[in-house]
Structure formats: C-alpha cells, structure tokens
Amino acid sequence: MNSYCEMVFNQIHVNVQSLTAIINEVTEEELAYRPLPHKRSIQELLQHLCLILSAASSLYKA
C-alpha cells in the first residue's frame, strides 16, 4: 500500500478514536435528536459513518 493510502487510513483511525470519545459523553436523548422532522438524527448519522468505516476497513485489509 502506498504512503498516501496509509496516511489516509491513519487519519481515519485518529478520527474514529476522537469520535468515540465524544460519543461516550452523549446521552440517548441527544443521540435521538433530529434537527428537523425530515433530517437524520445523530444516531442515524453515526450508523451511516459506521457503514462507511466498515467499508474502508475492508479495503484496508485487502
């Protein structure tokens, strides 16, 4: 894997660690918050990020 890809995946790892620390401080009520009725909640956005990171992880392992 080239150094650029390694740098990108390292940055993703750092961001996941930071986001995990923030999420640990969020209440269930805050996770359910939806800014507008037709917009995603914080929990739904986090689920979306998990799917993206799972796909990125699969690429990294390949």
Distance CA 45, CA 5 (A): 25
Q: Residue type for 60, please?
A: Y
Mean pLDDT of 34-60: 86
Mean pLDDT of 32-45: 95
On whether the CB atoms of residues 9 and 56 are closer than 8 A, the answer is: yes
Query: What is the per-residue pLDDT for 5?
Result: 81
Q: Residue type for 41, please?
A: S
Average pLDDT, the chain: 87
> Nearest CA to 49 among 24, 27, 25, 20?
20
On whether the CB atoms of residues 49 and 19 are closer than 8 A, the answer is: yes
Mean pLDDT of 32-36: 95
Residue 33 confidence (pLDDT) above 70 = yes
Residue 60 confidence (pLDDT) above 70 = no
Query: What is the per-residue pLDDT for 15?
Result: 86
